Structure 1
């Protein structure tokens, strides 16, 4: 069911984009499924946040944009996180290697760093999805396994994309997750076990001290984490709740809870 909000109460959420390089032309892009899920099930309006080149990452306009928002969504992507760039977004690197399709997206890393830093400083709701969870972990000092297949063949198979299936079916449930009964996710999920999809090569190795484990896979991999002591909902999940959200109860509950947190945050700003 679509969540309706009066226009004056509708929260506005920033959604992170990715950098696409085609024929030497740089483009920012994201999949519409994020926007559709946020609008239809979170009840929020969305704006697309642009990626940053190194020379723009420290500009004040980024903070200006964030102050006008009521929440931020860190979307997924095929590219791997570059911890060095995410930790120091204004640092200069070889611009010719900033973007490599499905491998590297440093402009996105810079955007994630700025968005997370601003959202934490402002006490703003955060929803990280797949890469977004990994960004949260790296931002707070955690580490990632560069390849789950190298960690464990069984884990690699469990979490990897299923290229032999049609794209839509690749986002079917792949494994179960156990949900902590005393965390931030349990009141949303209202269950201690759920089935989730899984399409990622990297995964959390060491969880950042500032994050709390909210859910984990049968192999022990962290599947969801929240910011400890957060004044609002600040959480990331390793799966993609946006893909089959119309038929996935947990996905609908997650987007609804995030949307409600954004409305509350909007109210505190107005007062």
Structure 2
């Protein structure tokens, strides 16, 4: 049980349809990893950012966690004609995460962007995405295997080379294995982003924002899934949680 002083973290919602009605929701795996490993309280923000000022949320939280999702970033955001190969889309989530990330980076709020999140972070910085990367020459198949058991689909099976010093400090290692499951990936790296890790086929698996005022990391894999049992997954969430506590404590000290 977290105490009343635990940092609050904004998590964008995805818009899904249930029983013919739109719902704003977030995958539980991210929320439990935030609570149990990062030691922060996640707050789901509705994807209705046209109707409220996102800054009013950012003023009340100590970090931003951008989760993965079933949907993909709409290609119009990075100058590509949309097609069925890019689907499915969630444009309301696109608008919300764009505002959350811009605001977080401007305010120095800790930012952790996972899976779809790293792709959104790249697009925010003017980068582009490639779809169906398993069809590109020399690329691995990064998609999850067909299997009825979710734990098997999300199993840690892919090698990653950690190149950036920021991520090396968090993980304590240059070579790790991850559960990277995706059919889209960073194509052109966004301006101002630094590659922190890559797959054996050259696919960018992690980036940082060197000019950011606070913690700002994006990973293509899914550390949330085994955050309670895998040391490298846990290290990412703990580092994010520690950054959120530092941010919260600094605000409290400045207010005294």
Give the number of equivalent residue pairs.
248
Answer yes or no: is the 8 Å Cα contact 1:85–1:106 preserved in 2.
no
Q: 1:209 to 1:69 in 2, by over 3 A?
A: same
Q: TM-score scaled to structure 2, two decimals?
A: 0.90
The corresponding residue for 1:27 is 23
The corresponding residue for 2:212 is 230
The corresponding residue for 1:209 is 191
SS at match of 1:145: strand
User: Following the alignment from structure 2 to structure 1, what is the Cα–Cα distance between the partners of residues 238 and 149?
Assistant: 28
Match of 1:255 among 237, 244, 256: 237
Kindly state the Cα deviation for residue 248 of structure 1 after the two structures are TM-superposed. 0.6
The corresponding residue for 1:179 is 162
User: Following the alignment from structure 2 to structure 1, what is the Cα–Cα distance between the partners of residues 137 and 95?
Assistant: 30
The corresponding residue for 1:148 is 133
Answer yes or no: is the 8 Å Cα contact 1:86–1:109 preserved in 2.
no
The corresponding residue for 1:219 is 201
SS at match of 1:240: coil
Kindly state the Cα deviation for residue 128 of structure 1 after the two structures are TM-superposed. 0.5
Match of 1:163 among 131, 146, 150: 146
Alpha-carbon displacement from aligned partner over 1:36-76 (angstroms, at most 9, x marks no partner): 11111101111101113xxx43x553210111110000000
Kindly state the Cα deviation for residue 202 of structure 1 after the two structures are TM-superposed. 0.2
Alpha-carbon displacement from aligned partner over 1:14-54 (angstroms, at most 9, x marks no partner): 112111023431111111111111111101111101113xx
Match of 2:68 among 61, 68, 76: 76
User: Following the alignment from structure 1 to structure 2, what is the Cα–Cα distance between the partners of residues 233 and 152?
Assistant: 34
The corresponding residue for 1:51 is 47
Answer yes or no: is the 8 Å Cα contact 2:198–2:206 preserved in 1.
yes
| Unmatched 5+ stretches in structure 2 | 80-86
In the TM superposition, what are the counterparts of 1:3-152 in structure 2 within 5 Å?
Answer: 6-8=3-5, 10-52=6-48, 56-57=49-50, 59-85=51-77, 103-152=88-137
The corresponding residue for 1:264 is 246
Kindly state the Cα deviation for residue 245 of structure 1 after the two structures are TM-superposed. 1.5
Answer yes or no: is the 8 Å Cα contact 1:86–1:113 preserved in 2.
no
Kindly state the Cα deviation for residue 5 of structure 1 after the two structures are TM-superposed. 6.1
| Unmatched 5+ stretches in structure 1 | 88-101
SS at match of 2:170: helix
Q: TM-score scaled to structure 1, two decimals?
A: 0.86
Q: 1:255 to 1:132 in 2, by over 3 A?
A: same
